[in-house]
Amino acid sequence: MLELRLVQGSLLKKVLDAIKDLVTDANFDCSESGFSLQAMDSSHVALVALLLRSDGFEHYRCDRNLSMGMNLTNMSKMLKCAGNDDIITIKADDGGDSVTFMFESPSQDKVSDFEMKLMDIDSEHLGIPETEYHAIVKMPSAEFARICRDLSTIGDTVVISVSKDGVKFSTSGDIGSANVVCRQNNSVDNKDNETVIEMNEPVSLTFALRYLNSFTKATTLSNTVTLSMSKELPVVVEYKIAEIGHIRFYLAPKIED
Amino acid sequence: RETQTRMDSYYHFS
């Protein structure tokens, strides 16, 4: 049997908001180490990998590895019924065909349970090896979201170039073109406002803004975002989830014919 | 022209 109690239930609500438009159905995998998910969008251009480590839950019981297929639209509907301050407990029986979400108000005066039917989903996991990336940019997540949103009003794709001068986001479209350069800065009072660039080699890659904009729905999960890039590899856009894990989005680049 | 690549051209199913 499975019983996972997450005191900060709003994290799960935010995770669903961040991925439900990218992925329709997904298997949530539960093991001793944590609650995780790996899924691709329908066109196999983007991949999302979520990890909520077991030690981030107040109570974590998972007797044996369990993979639960869920429709994320339906899961999101149910989690929307939880208050932002609610404690969320996920419960399932081994081999059962449903999962129960229990919501408790902080003062324990209201308890709800919502049972959702599980579905069979062919589990296809991509093996993603640990990689040394050529360039890693850490920047405020709101700034990254702003840049993606602004540039998508001009063009459909963005060229992200990392050099010793900074990280440059460039686009062009019918009405004109735009470049945004963020330089490394060190914020004394607030680390979350820093832009930090670690670069072994300059990198320049082209991506569809539509997907990057979708990833920025995770902005509410973290004040900072990390972009890891290497030549001829998908970019990794990572949002840390405080004390408990991360959500990583991988996006395959566009290449010149 | 640019072509959109797919995840499975970089990583393989495990």
Give the pLDDT confidence of A50-60 residue by residue, as tens digits: 999 999 999 99
Mean pLDDT to the nearest integer, A66-95: 96
Does residue A168 surpass a pLDDT of 80? yes
Strand ordering across the sheet containing A196-199: A66-71, A25-30, A34-40, A46-53, A245-251, A235-241, A224-229, A135-140, A196-199
Contacts of A43 in chain B (CB under 8 A): 6
Contacts of A256 in chain B (CB under 8 A): 1-3
- Identify the bridge partners of residue A179 per DSSP, sorted by sequence position: A170
| Residue A100: both structure tokens together | 């129960």
What is the per-residue pLDDT for A190? Answer: 84
Contacts of B13 in chain A (CB under 8 A): 124-127
Please report the DSSP string for A102-137 in residue order.
Answer: EEE-TTSS-EEEEEEE-------PEE------SEEE
Contact A255 B2 (CB under 8 A): yes
Distance from CA of B14 to the nearest CA of A (A): 5
Does residue A123 surpass a pLDDT of 80? no
Does residue B1 surpass a pLDDT of 90? no
Instruction: Give the pLDDT band (50/70/90) at residue A255.
Output: very high
Instruction: Name the average pLDDT for chain A.
Output: 96
- How many Å apart are CA A154 and CA A169, to the nearest integer? 12
What is the per-residue pLDDT for A185? Answer: 87
CA dihedral A84, A87, A88, A89 (to 10 degrees): 180
- ipTM for this prediction: 0.96
Helix segments in chain A, DSSP class H: 10-19, 72-79, 141-152, 209-215
Strands, E assignment, chain A = 2-6, 25-30, 34-40, 46-53, 59-62, 66-71, 87-92, 98-104, 111-117, 126-127, 135-140, 157-163, 166-173, 176-182, 196-199, 203-208, 224-229, 235-241, 245-251, 254-256
Contact A126 B7 (CB under 8 A): yes
Span of A66-70, A122-126, A149-153 with lowest mean pLDDT: A122-126
| Residue A191: both structure tokens together | 């680390």
Contact A234 B10 (CB under 8 A): yes
Instruction: Give the pLDDT band (50/70/90) at residue A110.
Output: very high
Instruction: Give the pLDDT band (50/70/90) at residue A141.
Output: very high
Could you identify the residue written with the tokens 């995780």?
A36
